[in-house]
Chain A
Amino acid sequence: MKWFAGAQSVLDPAGPQAGRIHGLFEVFLWVAIIVWVLTVGAMLIAFWKKHGGERHDDTTKRVVTACGVITVAVLLALLVASAVTGSAFATVPSNNVMNIEIRGHQWWWEVHYPDYIPHERVTTANEIHIPVGRPVRFKLTSDDVIHSFWAPNLSGKLDLFPNRVNEAWFEADRPGMWRGQCAEFCGLQHANMAFWVIAEPPDKFNEWIENQRKPGVMPSTPDQAHGQEVFLNGPCVVCHTIRGTNALASVGPDLTHLASRHTIAAGTLALDRGNLAGWVTDAQRIKPGNRMPPVNVPSKDLEPLLAYLESLK
């Protein structure tokens, strides 16, 4: 079904789970089509045949009984197919699994790559990089209300609850970029709570995570240095982290490698200078109700601040 290919489509599976779910969907679809055609066909035949009054002979009884038995058998078969599909990926494979922790917030996704070595831990937001061909176990929890984690090309949905950890896992079998979205109504900006899953070949993934482990890039031009000063002496520092600086708060997304991401505001805007400027100065215009306050930065400070943010590769 390549006509339905897309970055956010259950009909374009990119991993074994989504593939199994898609297979199940096709079984249901074709069974339903056949049953529908037969039923409508039988109805039309009955419609066009001459009306012969009511008949109560053995043939009618046999036909009705046979249809009843077939219906029950088909439904049972579909039930078995559904249960088999569900159990096929109920358990997380035990070897070579990568762990990722996801924390849902109103309205963005906090993403952690845990590690035994503290300084190797990685925190990012709204963008999940995974290596191709390696199962990934997700530990899902929420900071405020119930959210739901759903990347249709890769797996089914799973809810995120406050004070509770749910586990899901999936695997990507080809490189690509897929969009996921919150699938449980969670407030004003539920519709703008998206994320991207980026599946890369293992060596490219390692390159990415090595970079993410580093502290934020130090400013290399006077403009960027001024921007960093604005960041560290302004309201930004109360909510955001840039590792390697004094900004260590965890209310908003970690910005250590902001410029390495593709989007800002949980998939709402592409990351470019104009969008960043709009977001910093008046985020409430873009996503009313979100936690980012409008920041009054004079224009002489705004340009350097943006230059600094854009340097955080």
Chain B
Amino acid sequence: MKHVAAGLCVSAALLLLTGCKREQRQLRAEPAERATFAAAPESPIVPGGKVPVKVEVRNPYEGDAYAIAEGEKLFSSYNCGTCHAAHGGGGMGPPLTSKNLTYGSEPENIFDTIQKGRPKGMPAWGGRLPEYQIWQLVAYVRSLSGQEPMSATPGRSDDIEYKTKAQLK
């Protein structure tokens, strides 16, 4: 009888597990997923004094842990760290760990900045990077200032951490 009860408990626990959401990895960006991008306003001020209409642009990868990790890889692959420092801490280019970026911190603003470039040094990556990669970079950049959910941001890096003998001591 005890065994039957234990068996039932285990089955019930397993059944509960099926309710867990498993994040899907989108390995092959569908053409429809490559967001059709409408230019977003970079200034909140509009002539006539009316309240500006908020352009609804959503990052398809918002809160997607895989995309954020991919964005991190792309960030180093494309040498973004040369100007913005290895983890976006800032150097020759501005830090990306701030919630108030020079040209806006909304996903569409960051997309625009990467796509079109900005004066005084930010190259225009449009046409060189597929749009889905720019969105992955956007997700990563926003994760640097805590604007992506904690559940999707890795607590540690994907790489194997390397310490020299001196560091280990």
- Report which A residues bind B (CB closer than 8 A): 144-146, 161-164, 188, 233-235, 237-239, 251, 282, 284-285, 288-289, 291, 293-296
Contact of A235 among B28, B130, B162 (CB under 8 A): B130
**Contact yes or no, A144 B28, CB < 8 A:** no
Closest 10 CB pairs of A and B: A163-B162, A284-B28, A288-B27, A251-B77, A293-B130, A289-B27, A238-B128, A162-B160, A235-B128, A284-B27
Report the bound CA distance from A146 to B162 in whole Å: 13
Q: Is the interface of A mostly helix, strand, loop or mixed?
A: loop
B77-133 interface (Cβ within 8 A of A)? 77-78, 125, 127-130, 132-133
**Contact yes or no, B160 A238, CB < 8 A:** no
**Contact yes or no, A162 B162, CB < 8 A:** yes
B29 proximal to A (CB < 8 A): yes
Report the bound CA distance from A64 to B29 in whole Å: 69
Give the Cβ gap from A298 to chain B, nearest Cβ, in Å: 13
Report the bound CA distance from A104 to B28 in whole Å: 23
Whether A294 touches B128, Cβ cut-off 8 Å, given contacts A162-B160, A162-B162, is no
Report the bound CA distance from A238 to B133 in whole Å: 12
Report the bound CA distance from A249 to B133 in whole Å: 17
Count of interface residues, chain B, beta-carbon cutoff 8 Å: 17
Report the bound CA distance from A285 to B125 in whole Å: 25
Report the bound CA distance from A291 to B70 in whole Å: 10
Chain A residues in 8 Å Cβ range of B78: 238, 251
Q: Is the interface of B mostly helix, strand, loop or mixed?
A: loop
Chain B residues in 8 Å Cβ range of A235: 127-130
**Contact yes or no, B129 A238, CB < 8 A:** yes
- Report which B residues bind A (CB closer than 8 A): 25, 27-29, 77-78, 125, 127-130, 132-133, 158-160, 162
**Contact yes or no, A144 B159, CB < 8 A:** yes
Q: List the B residue with the shortest CB-CB distance to A233.
A: B127
Q: List the A residue with the shortest CB-CB distance to B158.
A: A144
Give the Cβ gap from B55 to chain A, nearest Cβ, in Å: 24
Q: List the B residue with the shortest CB-CB distance to A146.
A: B160
Report the bound CA distance from A295 to B78 in whole Å: 17
- Starting from the known contacts A145-B160, A162-B162, A235-B128, 8 additional A-B residue pairs (CB-CB under 8 Å) come to A144-B159, A233-B127, A237-B128, A238-B78, A238-B129, A251-B77, A289-B25, A294-B28
**Contact yes or no, A293 B162, CB < 8 A:** no
Chain B residues in 8 Å Cβ range of A237: 128
Interface core residue of A233, A237, A294 (most chain B CB under 10 Å): A294
Report the bound CA distance from A237 to B123 in whole Å: 14
16 CB contacts below 8 A, A to B, read: A146-B160, A163-B160, A163-B162, A234-B127, A234-B128, A235-B128, A235-B130, A238-B78, A238-B128, A282-B28, A284-B27, A284-B29, A288-B28, A289-B27, A291-B77, A293-B130
**Contact yes or no, B127 A294, CB < 8 A:** no
Report the bound CA distance from A145 to B160 in whole Å: 7
Chain A residues in 8 Å Cβ range of B162: 162-164
Q: List the A residue with the shortest CB-CB distance to B130.
A: A293
